[in-house]
Amino acid sequence: PDLVIYESSGCESCAGTGFRGRTGIFELLLVDEDVGRLINRRAPTAEIRALAREKGMRTLIEDGVEKVRRGLTTPAEILRVTQE
């Protein structure tokens, strides 16, 4: 199916923001034995992150993109909150 990307537009009920309520984006690092070993030996962050990604960790951006695909937020909002 075609991808529809929404853009926010303000109104009186959303105080001009184009959004109602809040939607979080999340990044969760599950610490298993392998990741724990890297942490304990004070491995570089990039090494820990690479292993976590291999094991299926989804980044903030990826979670945000999924929420854009579902029509819950906009690309501009994801960029705004991940680049602060």
Which DSSP symbol is given to 17?
S
The structural domains of the chain, with segments of one domain joined by +, span: 1-84
Q: CB of 47 within 8 A of CB of 38?
A: yes
pTM of the predicted structure, to 2 decimals: 0.73
Asked if the model's pLDDT at residue 20 lies above 70, the reply is yes
Least reliable range by pLDDT among 28-37, 38-47, 59-68, 75-84: 75-84
Tokens of 63: 């979670």
